[in-house]
Amino acid sequence: MRTISCLQSDLQGVGVEHHALDCLVHALQDFGEVWEEVECMLASSKYVWMSNMTPLEPGGNLVILGSGWGGYSLLKKLDTSKWESVTLVSPRNYFLFTPLLPSVTVGTNEPRSIIEPLRKIVMKKNKKTGLQNTRYLEVDAKHLDLARKICYCEDITSIKATDDLLEVPYDKLVVAVGAQPNTMGVPGVLEYTHFLKEMDHARLIRKNVLDSFETACTATSDERKIELLHFVVVGGGPTGVEFAAELRDFIREEISQAYWEVAHLAKVSVIQSAENILNTFDAAISRYATDHFKRIDIEVVKNSRVKAVEASAVVVQDMATKEEHRIPFGVCVWAAGIAPRPFTKDLISQLKDCQPENGRLLKTTPYLEVLGGKGDLFAIGDCAGVAEPELLPLAESLFDEADINKDGKISFEEYEVIYRKIRER
């Protein structure tokens, strides 16, 4: 949280909407992580960014795309009275508290308990301001017409008003559409595995886990029962690990009584491409988690990649020996990270002159302004990333400025002078 609060204080006094950024900073942990890397260059980077920065003037029509951590938190903190209209666009009419999603798969939490209807916050905003200027549209953003400043949206639910795309005009637009599960191009993932990113995914996993146990009770051979009761999680990141642990507890505490005939045959496995699970965390945590899984009988299939998924088995390759083998499953959950949504890719390609080549994230300034968006586009969350300044030229110019006596070295006195200058800026 140190980096986060540092960032916050740094943004005070900058001509962007404080409420919104304050909230973004809180909400987006990954933004904080990127920040960690550029923190030491903060003062210097301002040279680059500040020159291109147009302070954001509230007013006009604000459109927010997405109802996740980015979009929802932004709307919650936003002073909507400063805008002519505020429109939240999302195919999902509620905010989902994703960290508790794994617990819904085993019934520890009810779906209703981990969502917040968007209509509630919209009503609150309109009541507070006395204006009816805030609204929500249950449609999916498909494409931006940057010249005409129109967002084209499609109703992707079963009941549609029309077959045409809906045109939503904007003055300022915040892209907070998140990301989608990453299949890594592995065949069979879409057909035979479950993602765990939305409420419907959690419901379906719950249904299928119980179905596996019910079906095992009707199976005639122990071999088939063992196959049906093998729950395979692909990916040892936070989602996969959390789900595997919840499922194991559920089997131990609930299933073992209700399905006493077959519960002892159940097993949970995690397939992980690295040596340990949670390998983006501190090495000690990562090792501890792996050891703990061993103690509680969750098998970690280490250093292995899934090459293909079949109707009821994954084909796994050992990354060292390159040997392949089939692992049968009853239910397979695919938690192998995220990939950009088509909307994000489309926007990146529209802005290709200002965005890095083959980018997977909408690159922004540290003030979350989309590079190439002409001050009208902002992006936050899983679809966005702060562009790192080009460090080498900056470092060279800083060094030149610091080396007052031009002896090719920076003495402590020289360092003190340049440090003070940077702080002042």
The single residue among 3, 208, 279, 350 that binds a copy of itself, judged by CB under 8 A, is 208
Q: 163: which 2 tokens?
A: 């077959």
Kindly state the smallest distance separating residue 218's Cβ from a copy of itself, in Å: 5
The residue count for binding a copy of itself (CB under 8 A) is: 41
Binding flag, residue 217, a copy of itself (CB under 8 A): yes
Angle between helices 118-129 and 69-77 (to 10 degrees): 20
Binding flag, residue 245, a copy of itself (CB under 8 A): no
The single residue among 50, 123, 190, 296 that binds a copy of itself, judged by CB under 8 A, is 123
Which residues, 137 to 156, sit near a copy of itself by CB under 8 A? 137-139, 155
Closest alpha carbon to 136 in 185, 202, 191, 92: 92
Kindly state the smallest distance separating residue 359's Cβ from a copy of itself, in Å: 31
Binding flag, residue 258, a copy of itself (CB under 8 A): yes
Q: 119: which 2 tokens?
A: 């209509």
> Based on CB atoms, which residue is closest to a copy of itself, 224 or 267?
224
Residue 66 falls in which region: left (phi positive, over 0), alpha (psi -120 to 50) or beta: left
Q: Mind spelling out the 3-state secondary structure of 70-97?
A: HHHHHHHHCCHHHCCEEEEECCCCEEEC
For residues 232 and 269, is the Cβ–Cβ distance under 8 A?
yes
Binding flag, residue 12, a copy of itself (CB under 8 A): no
> Based on CB atoms, which residue is closest to a copy of itself, 231 or 243?
231
> Based on CB atoms, which residue is closest to a copy of itself, 210 or 391?
210
Binding flag, residue 130, a copy of itself (CB under 8 A): no
User: How many whole angstroms separate alpha carbon 55 and alpha carbon 16?
Assistant: 6
User: How many whole angstroms separate alpha carbon 294 and alpha carbon 281?
Assistant: 18
CB under 8 Å to 120, separation ≥6 — which residues? none
Kindly state the smallest distance separating residue 188's Cβ from a copy of itself, in Å: 15
Binding flag, residue 218, a copy of itself (CB under 8 A): yes
Contact residues toward a copy of itself (CB under 8 A) are: 93, 110, 112, 117, 119-120, 123, 132, 135-139, 155, 157-162, 166, 208, 210-212, 214-220, 224, 228, 257-261, 330-331
